[in-house]
Structure 1
Amino acid sequence: MVSARRLRALLLGILSGPQRGASARTMAPPRFFALELPGCTLAHFAVGTDAAGAPLDPRAAALLGPPGRSYSLCVPVAPGGDYAARVRAARLHQRLLQQLHRGPLKRCQLRRLLCYSPDGRAGALQQGVLLHDPNDSPDTRRALLALLDSYLETPRPRLGEFLADPLPQLWQRLWELRDGQGWRQVEREPVGRAPEPALHPVVPDLPSSGVFPHREAARGVLEACTAFIPEARAVLELVDRCPAQVQKGKFPVIVIEGLDATGKTTVTQAASESLQAALLRSPPACVSEWRKVFDDEPTIVRRAFYSLGNYIVASEIAEKSTTSPVIVDRYWHSTATYAIATEVSGAVQHLPPAHHPIYQWPRDLLKPNLVLLLTVSPEERRKRIQGRGLERTREETELEDNNVFRQKVEVCYQRMENPGCQVVDADPSQEEVLKTVLSLIQKNCY
Structure 2
Amino acid sequence: MARRMMSLLPQRSSRVFSVELNGAPFYFSTQEAHRGEEVPNVFRETQPDTRCYSLLVCSSDTIRRAKFYGDLKEKLLRDLPPECHLSPMCSFLPNVRDSLLKGYFLKDNSESSSPTERLLKDLTQRDPVLVCSYLRGEHGHLWTQHLWSPADSQTMEKSKDFYVVPSEAPEYHPSTLNIINSDVFYSFEEAYDVLKKCGDIIPEATSVLELLPSRAEARSKPDFPVIVIEGLDATGKTTLTESLRETLGASLLRSPPQCLSPMRARFDREPPLIRRAFYALGNYITAEQIGQEGRKTAVIVDRFWHSTAAYAIATAVSGPVCNLPAEGSEVYRWPSDLLQPSLVVQLTVDPEERKRRLRGRGLGTTEEEQELDHNQLFRLKVEKAYQRIIGPACVTVDASPSADQVLQQVLLLIRGKCHL
User: Conserved in 1, the CA contact under 8 Å of 2:55 and 2:129?
Assistant: no
Q: 3-state DSSP class of the match of 2:253?
A: strand
Partner residue, 1:89: 65
Partner residue, 2:102: 127
**Are 2:357 and 1:357 equivalent residues in the alignment?**
no
Gaps of 5+ in 1: 1-23, 79-84
User: Conserved in 2, the CA contact under 8 Å of 1:173 and 1:188?
Assistant: yes
Cα distance per residue 1:280-330 (max 9 Å; x no partner)? 011101112111111101111011001000001101101111111101111
Structure 1 segment 211-230 matched on structure 2, within 5 A: 211-230=184-203
**Whole-angstrom distance in 2 between the partners of 1:423 and 1:249:** 24
User: Conserved in 2, the CA contact under 8 Å of 1:115 and 1:126?
Assistant: yes
Partner residue, 1:138: 112
> TM-score if structure 1 supplies the norm length?
0.85
**Whole-angstrom distance in 1 between the partners of 2:137 and 2:246:** 68
User: Conserved in 2, the CA contact under 8 Å of 1:27 and 1:49?
Assistant: no
Q: 3-state DSSP class of the match of 1:374?
A: strand
Q: CA deviation at 1:67?
A: 6.2
**Are 2:358 and 1:376 equivalent residues in the alignment?**
no
**Whole-angstrom distance in 2 between the partners of 1:325 and 1:163:** 67
Q: CA deviation at 1:180?
A: 8.6
Structure 1 segment 247-286 matched on structure 2, within 5 A: 247-286=220-259
**Whole-angstrom distance in 2 between the partners of 1:25 and 1:101:** 28
User: Conserved in 1, the CA contact under 8 Å of 2:293 and 2:299?
Assistant: yes
Cα 1:410–1:278 change in 2 (3 A) is same
Q: 3-state DSSP class of the match of 1:77?
A: coil
Q: 3-state DSSP class of the match of 2:150?
A: strand
**Whole-angstrom distance in 2 between the partners of 1:354 and 1:50:** 39
Cα 1:208–1:160 change in 2 (3 A) is farther
Q: 3-state DSSP class of the match of 2:219?
A: coil
**Whole-angstrom distance in 2 between the partners of 1:292 and 1:368:** 28
**Whole-angstrom distance in 2 between the partners of 1:27 and 1:101:** 30
Cα distance per residue 1:383-410 (max 9 Å; x no partner)? 1112534232222222123222111111
Q: CA deviation at 1:50?
A: 5.7
Partner residue, 1:35: 19
Partner residue, 1:46: 29
Structure 1 segment 307-322 matched on structure 2, within 5 A: 307-322=280-295
Partner residue, 2:87: 111
Q: CA deviation at 1:100?
A: 2.3
Q: Quick one: which amino acid aligns to residue 255 of structure 1?
A: V
User: Conserved in 2, the CA contact under 8 Å of 1:210 and 1:303?
Assistant: yes
Q: CA deviation at 1:42?
A: 2.0
Partner residue, 2:304: 331
Q: 3-state DSSP class of the match of 2:327?
A: coil
**Whole-angstrom distance in 1 between the partners of 2:226 and 2:145:** 56
Aligned residue among 30, 33, 52 for 1:70: 52
- Across the aligned residues of Structure 1 and Structure 2, the Cα RMSD in angstroms comes to 2.6
Cα 1:70–1:372 change in 2 (3 A) is same
Aligned residue among 31, 34, 38 for 1:55: 38
Q: 3-state DSSP class of the match of 1:386?
A: helix
Cα distance per residue 1:244-303 (max 9 Å; x no partner)? 553222211011111112121221112211111111011101112111111101111011
Cα 1:147–1:35 change in 2 (3 A) is closer
Q: Quick one: which amino acid aligns to residue 138 of structure 1?
A: S
Q: CA deviation at 1:98?
A: 1.2
**Whole-angstrom distance in 1 between the partners of 2:418 and 2:181:** 34
Partner residue, 2:382: 409
Cα 1:93–1:157 change in 2 (3 A) is farther
Q: CA deviation at 1:382?
A: 1.4
Aligned residue among 263, 267, 276 for 1:290: 263
**Whole-angstrom distance in 2 between the partners of 1:164 and 1:352:** 38
Structure 1 segment 150-299 matched on structure 2, within 5 A: 153-166=126-139, 168-179=141-152, 187-241=160-214, 243=216, 246-299=219-272
Cα 1:114–1:325 change in 2 (3 A) is same
Cα 1:430–1:144 change in 2 (3 A) is farther
Q: 3-state DSSP class of the match of 2:335?
A: coil
Cα 1:294–1:25 change in 2 (3 A) is closer
Q: CA deviation at 1:234?
A: 1.2
Cα 1:145–1:432 change in 2 (3 A) is farther
User: Conserved in 1, the CA contact under 8 Å of 2:283 and 2:304?
Assistant: yes
Cα 1:443–1:196 change in 2 (3 A) is same
Partner residue, 1:304: 277
User: Conserved in 2, the CA contact under 8 Å of 1:76 and 1:158?
Assistant: no
Q: 3-state DSSP class of the match of 1:138?
A: coil
Q: 3-state DSSP class of the match of 2:297?
A: coil
User: Conserved in 2, the CA contact under 8 Å of 1:284 and 1:312?
Assistant: yes
Aligned residue-pair number:
410
Cα 1:66–1:116 change in 2 (3 A) is farther
**Whole-angstrom distance in 1 between the partners of 2:193 and 2:33:** 39
User: Conserved in 1, the CA contact under 8 Å of 2:142 and 2:163?
Assistant: yes
**Whole-angstrom distance in 1 between the partners of 2:285 and 2:308:** 14
User: Conserved in 2, the CA contact under 8 Å of 1:268 and 1:329?
Assistant: yes
**Whole-angstrom distance in 1 between the partners of 2:81 and 2:226:** 52
Partner residue, 1:17: none
Q: CA deviation at 1:117?
A: 1.1
